[in-house]
Structure 1
Amino acid sequence: MEILFGQTYTEQLFDRADFTDARWEQVQFVRCTFASCALDYLQTERCQFENCKFEFCQLGGSKHEKSVFAGCKFRDCNLFSAEFTGCKGIGSNLHGCASTGLAIRGGNWSYASFSGLFLQGTDFSGLMLAHADLRDCKLQKCNFRDCDMTQCYLQNADLTEADLRGAQLDGVDLRACRMKKTKLDMVHAIQIAEAMGAVIV
């Protein structure tokens, strides 16, 4: 197992590098590119990735705890069963990634783009998702309880049997997504009714 602790890398290219089973703690990467790298089962803790690119990388089974992925771009990466716990992914883009089994628990992923991802059954409870792009996502049976989803983009998202109780949905157009057996609070039901022209008295 390769262990890194406390190093800083700036504008470095990691091309086809094999970091399988590696453990990184408090490592900082600034504007680095990971191209076709093997990052399966990688463990990161309190690492910082600032404006980094992950292109065609394998991150299956990787685990990330309290790490920061700020403004990062994941292009055609495999995130199968990857886990992000208490991480910050503000402004990151995961569009086009394989996301089956992806788990994101807590943290702040505001302004992130998950557009088109298969996220069925994912537990997003308590997550900051303000202004996040969830258009065309498969969100069946997802748990969004107590999420801040202010002004999220949900056009054509499938929220069948999802749980939205306690979520902040200010500025969200719930008419634009598909809902069936979706769990809502009364305040959400009123928001939908008012958006459709109803007058609540």
Structure 2
Amino acid sequence: MRAARRPELRLPPLEAFEGGGLEPDGDYDGLEFAGTDLAGQDGAGARFMDCALRGCALDEMRLSRARVLDSVLDGVRGVGTDLAGATLRDVELSDARLGGTQLHGAALERVRIRGGKIDFLNLRAATLKDVVFEGCVLVEPDFGGARLERVEFVDCTLKGVDLSGATLKDVDLRRAASLEIARGVDRLSGAVISPTQLLELAPVLAGELGIAVEG
């Protein structure tokens, strides 16, 4: 089991973002978005490099195919944020409150998601490499058809996970605070779980294998 590599961020001195809004295919370098209301804005295809978004509202924000590199997102909140097909590399996401975030087809590499709560996270057909979920709550996250390599879940609460069609390699679930798999338990090959988790998953595994368990 190879451990995930954490992002190592050293942001340069940042300038305050003073623009009126985002632009599709825009280029944002070395900027700090502090408490900025970005709800409903269209930054599809934009590039964020060495940026910090702190306390920003991201409701219905469109960032499909965007590139977020060497950046920090702290205390962001929003429902329906669209990051489909985006690239996140060397990113730290802390204390987020998000719902229905669309990351299907996205590529995440050296990403750390720490604290907060994310409901109905859509990571279908996404690629996750060197990603750490730490101390967060994930409600019904969808990893259907995704590829996970060197992914760790540390002190996380995982509710209703969908792993249908997913491919796992060096995925460490042992330190998850709670693990509930709704679909795709047969895709756990390539993951490591604890003995306690094995006992908790036994009914689901038995059902998947067609084993009747009777007293």
**CA, structure 1 residues 104+189, in 2 after alignment: closer, same or farther (shift >3 Å)?**
same
Cα deviation digits, residues 61-89 of structure 1 (max 9, x gap): 12111111421111332212222112123
The alpha-carbon deviation at position 45 of structure 1 amounts to 1.0
Q: What aligned pairs does 1:13-32 form with structure 2 within 5 A after superposition?
A: 14-32=23-41
2:202 corresponding residue in structure 1 = 190
1:2 corresponding residue in structure 2 = 15
Larger strand share, 1 or 2: 2
The alpha-carbon deviation at position 98 of structure 1 amounts to 2.6
**CA, structure 1 residues 15+127, in 2 after alignment: closer, same or farther (shift >3 Å)?**
same
TM-score calculated relative to the size of structure 2: 0.78
Which amino acid letter does the alignment assign opposite residue 183 of structure 1?
Answer: I
Q: What aligned pairs does 1:102-117 form with structure 2 within 5 A after superposition?
A: 102-117=111-126
The alpha-carbon deviation at position 59 of structure 1 amounts to 1.2
Query: Cα RMSD over matched residues?
Result: 2.5
- Aligned length in residues: 197
Cα deviation digits, residues 161-192 of structure 1 (max 9, x gap): 32223443335235331423522324334234
C-alpha distance in 2 between matches for 1:3 and 1:85: 20
Q: What aligned pairs does 1:50-129 form with structure 2 within 5 A after superposition?
A: 50-129=59-138
Structure 1 counterpart SS, 2:206: helix
Identity between Structure 1 and Structure 2 (%) = 19
Give structure 1 regions of 4+ aligned residues with deviation exceeding 4 angstroms. none
Which amino acid letter does the alignment assign opposite residue 125 of structure 1?
Answer: E
Q: Kindly indicate whether the alpha-carbon contact (under 8 Å) linking 1:29 and 1:49 is maintained by their aligned counterparts in 2.
A: yes
Cα deviation digits, residues 83-118 of structure 1 (max 9, x gap): 211212321101122322222122212201111222
Unaligned 5+ runs, structure 1: none
Which amino acid letter does the alignment assign opposite residue 142 of structure 2?
Answer: D
1:172 corresponding residue in structure 2 = 182
